[in-house]
A = this chain, B = another copy of it.
């Protein structure tokens, strides 16, 4: 079998270079890119070629151009943008169901695969929850709560699961906050998270799934109640 000869067009080469510069953090989110004229010289391509490359990345959601002002970095993950757009097309309930599906799988895998680093990270998040709870700081509590969930997903040692969860949770954040603030989730989740962590620590898969199902169903009920108002 012969390898298909593949010449990358100049545009595609420039696109790849810019993507790398963004992914590597050389251009951070919010940064201004150099002007077209300068980029032309740096990449040694014509204006058209450069503009086609930039336009491709603008449409992908990585860049944003504003006439008269310049081009800035908007995001560092094309996949995140694509998922974000899909979430926007869907209802909150639909998205939440997908997120919970991932979370349930993550809990199961985490209970099997978690290592000491994972357990330490999760324990730390729970302590953050606790201290925020004692201070009565709702916002800080919510942030710590989300961090705990992310730590659990990370403990599943499945990068794809982690990325999906991350990019689906992001646009849901405001809805999550709404539910938590409106209800008495504050005290409730404190305990169940601790028990969930214990189950994962003991590698008790069934218990872990059971706890996740508990707060998933509870969360679902709360959403329904709020949406009915």
Contacts and interface: CB of A to CB of B under 8 A. Distances in A.
A212 to B, nearest CB: 12
A161 B159 CA distance: 19
Number of contact residues on A: which range applies?
35 or more
A79 interface: yes
Main secondary structure of the interface of A (DSSP, over half): helix
A93 to B, nearest CB: 8
A161 B101 contact: yes
Contact of A85 (B15, B55, B79, B105): B79
A97 B158 contact: yes
Question: In the complex this chain forms, how many copies of it are found?
Answer: 2
Given A15-B59, A58-B56, A161-B101, A82 B90 contact: no
Contact of A52 (B51, B79, B95, B104): B51
Contacts of A87: 160
A229 interface: no
Contacts of A60: 56, 59-60
A86 B159 CA distance: 10
Contacts of A97: 105, 109, 158, 160-161
A225 to B, nearest CB: 18
| 9 A-B pairs with the lowest CB-CB distances in the bound complex, closest first | A101-B105, A82-B82, A56-B59, A52-B55, A90-B160, A94-B160, A94-B158, A101-B101, A56-B56
Given A57-B59, A98-B161, 4 more contacts: A56-B59, A97-B105, A98-B105, A104-B105
26 contacts: A9-B67, A11-B55, A12-B59, A15-B59, A51-B52, A52-B52, A56-B58, A56-B60, A57-B59, A78-B82, A79-B86, A86-B163, A89-B160, A94-B160, A95-B160, A97-B160, A98-B102, A98-B158, A98-B160, A98-B161, A98-B164, A100-B105, A101-B104, A101-B106, A101-B161, A104-B105
